[in-house]
Amino acid sequence: MSRFSISPIIRAHWKGLTNGTGPDIRPDWPARYIFIVVPVGVAALTVVLGWQLSEPAPLLAGVSLLAGGLLGSFAQLSSLRLKVSEWTQHSADEWLVERELLDETAGHVLLAAMLCAIDAAVLVIAMNATVGGQRVAVGWSAGVLAISVYILLVFIVCLPRLYSAYVQINKVSDHLSGFAKGKWTR
């Protein structure tokens, strides 16, 4: 049954919600708190306010396409990580931050892809449990929205990590880097 275990992906995602590198790693509790509270809060609001998905098909199409895109981006991340590993064969400390950014993002991307698949499955079940073209029931809507919000949060976390790795690996000049503070030069 280990073949069906998703726990390594979940652990990689949770372990990625940290600050620091190497031996100075510490949990990023505000981020972990957001990942728990925001989706649960959206689900609770959905139930309390009686929100129902009236058009779930576009969301189904969106999460299905996003799942494919995330799997494709994981392949690109894997290739880039392999390249960085080749560059650092002789020095374990070289490119440490960049390798950790890519490793963290890989776990997040795979979790998001898995959640997209789960979200799509829940949407299909919810749409088929709905009678006569009515809106999706509140309970199903709460589950779908909570998963969708979690996917969005993972996506938001991945973007700065990927950009940081890109900027550092490619040595982007300060006048084009979003991480360099100071005056706008252009």
Domain ranges for the chain, please list them.
2-18+27-169
- The per-residue pLDDT for range 25-60, each reduced to its tens digit, is 899 999 999 999 999 999 999 999 999 999 899 999
Best CA proximity match to 38, nearest among 154, 118, 161, 160: 154
pTM of the model: 0.88
pLDDT value, residue 107: 94
- The residues with which 26 forms a beta bridge, in sequence order, are 19
